């Protein structure tokens, strides 16, 4: 394997893409948010044009604009993984070539979505992309969102042995794929837990890092949890920090604000903190005034109205989530 993936460790937000109220790409607000994640939240890297970056709503030219923007904003301060996946192998290669020209440190490539190609075709898709590209490739193993068959740990390990895959974002509620894959490949791949449902367990099971959209708002706390669990082997402290993060996860998984997208919640949180939150591209609509009020009250109740001090007290707290659970999207 020709690539050193040891620098891909820690907390990598699946960074938001900012749009304005008219659905236009807002590069200035996007740049400000990415810079805030690096300078104020202390994240270890970024994933751009991923699911939480709404790649599915972007035109090809807009993805290229994001690739260039990342190069200009990040300036090699942290590694950046560019989302260049498409259903089409040809278009995935074209986007990946453009990402490579724009200085990507690695690529994250979603399973070929919607059309449900057979597994042998999915594997060949990744082989052909690797033949065309000289960058580390992260498998975005997200069968729920892509409606594509997943690759299991032995299959991923074989593709790692072939120098086709070098990293993986395991986007499942369960952590079984993480510990199975770590058993098979160890540190030869960079393994990232990729949901917001069990990040503590994912890190404890051997994940080298965490990628998720929720890290747009809990990056600093997540970094502290990573340090506790992975660096200092202090799972108890990690659990206490995870209990601070869980109320933000529950805003979506328990639909405490109503039937809204998780991305709209994160954007409203940023705005409540006086930061650019932008808009999603329709049909992900923003919170209405009543929902904004509910969000404000819940953040005040759990301490996240003042995010800079959320970790000042790590005493165990009772969750305020008492509603029946709905099935979440494992972003």
Nearest C-alpha neighbor of 43 from the set 218, 206, 197, 199: 218
Question: d(Cα 107, Cα 190) in Å, to the nearest integer?
Answer: 13
DSSP string, 263-316: HHHHHHHHHHTTS---BPPTTSPPP-HHHHHHHHHHHHHHTTTSGGGTTS----
Question: d(Cα 185, Cα 238) in Å, to the nearest integer?
Answer: 25
CB 93 within 8 A of CB 131: no
Could you say which of 82, 169, 244, 279 is catalytic?
169
> Can 169 be counted among the known catalytic residues?
yes
Task: Tell me if residue 181 falls in helix, strand or coil.
Answer: helix
Residue 13 dihedral angles phi and psi, to the nearest 5°? -60, 140
The partner residues of 138 in beta bridges, in order of sequence, read 108, 167
**199 upstream amide cis, omega within 30 of 0:** no
> Can 126 be counted among the known catalytic residues?
no
Could you say which of 113, 140, 252, 279 is catalytic?
140
Tell me the residue length of the chain: 331
CA 73, distance to chain mean position in Å, is 19
Hey, which residues are catalytic here? 140, 169
């Amino acid at each position: 394997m020709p690539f050193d993936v040891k620098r891909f460790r820690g907390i990598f937000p699946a960074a938001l893409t900012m749009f304005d109220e008219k659905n236009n790409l807002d590069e200035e607000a996007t740049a400000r948010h990415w810079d805030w994640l690096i300078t104020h939240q202390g994240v270890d890297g970024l994933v751009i044009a991923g699911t939480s970056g709404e790649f599915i709503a972007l035109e090809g030219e807009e993805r290229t604009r994001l690739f260039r923007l990342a190069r200009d904003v990040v300036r090699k301060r942290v590694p950046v993984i560019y989302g260049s996946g498409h259903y089409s192998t040809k278009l995935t290669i074209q986007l990946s070539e453009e990402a490579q020209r724009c200085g990507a440190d690695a690529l994250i490539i979603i399973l070929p979505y919607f059309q449900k190609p057979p597994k042998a075709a999915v594997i060949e898709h990744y082989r052909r992309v690797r033949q065309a590209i000289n960058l580390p490739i992260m498998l975005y193993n997200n069968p729920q969102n892509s409606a594509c068959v997943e690759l299991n740990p032995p299959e991923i390990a074989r593709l790692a042995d072939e120098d086709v895959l070098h990293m993986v974002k395991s986007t499942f509620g369960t952590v079984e794929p993480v510990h199975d894959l770590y058993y098979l490949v160890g540190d030869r791949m960079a393994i990232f837990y990729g949901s917001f449902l069990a990040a503590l367990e994912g890190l404890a099971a051997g994940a080298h890092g965490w990628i998720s959209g929720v890290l747009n708002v809990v990056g600093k706390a997540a970094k502290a949890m990573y340090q506790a669990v992975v660096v200092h082997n202090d799972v108890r402290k990690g659990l206490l920090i995870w209990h601070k993060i869980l109320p933000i996860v529950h805003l979506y998984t328990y639909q405490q604000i109503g039937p809204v997208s998780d991305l709209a919640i994160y954007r409203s949180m940023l705005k409540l903190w006086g930061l650019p939150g932008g808009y999603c591209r329709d049909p992900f609509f923003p919170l209405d005034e009543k929902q904004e009020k509910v969000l404000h009250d819940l953040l005040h109740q759990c301490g996240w109205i003042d995010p800079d001090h959320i970790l000042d007290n790590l005493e165990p707290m009772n969750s305020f989530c008492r509603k029946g659970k709905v099935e979440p999207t494992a972003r």
